[in-house]
Amino acid sequence: MKIFTVGSKSFVTSFQLAGVPGVISDTPQKALEDIRKLTDDSDVGLVLVSDDITESINDELTALRAEKSTLVFALPATGSEKTEVDYRVMLKKILGV
């Protein structure tokens, strides 16, 4: 299984230095499109996305997580503030409860 990153140039470049390929996306909609393409690839097991891009596409990502087996995980972008994530609510959305 492969790992990919999606996000800003600095986010993607930092992972590329560690050998993880990525796609630079300037807008949340382009990121969503890129994430959809990556999750359609059966060789991709994990997509790491910068959280500054995921804020406005959170509902779409939750729906994508429910239908695909590829893990899509948001990581803090450089300089982002610490935020609380309610994984229980996220899991309920994914499961449709």
What is the pTM assigned to this prediction? 0.81
Of 54, 56, 67, give the one whose Cα is nearest residue 95.
Answer: 67
The mean pLDDT value for 45-58 works out to 91
Give the residue-averaged pLDDT of 20-35.
95
As a whole number, mean pLDDT of residues 20-28 equals 95
Q: How confident is the model at residue 80 (pLDDT cuts 50, 70, 90)?
A: low
DSSP assignments along 10-40, one per residue: HHHHHHHTTT--EEE-SSHHHHHHHHHHHHH
Give 83's pLDDT tier (boundaries 50, 70, 90): low
CATH node for 2-95: 3.40.50.10580
Over residues 72-77, the mean pLDDT reads 87
User: Where does the pLDDT of residue 76 fall: very low under 50, low under 70, confident under 90, or very high at 90 and above?
Assistant: confident
Residues ≥6 apart with Cβ < 8 Å to 52: 7, 8, 77, 80
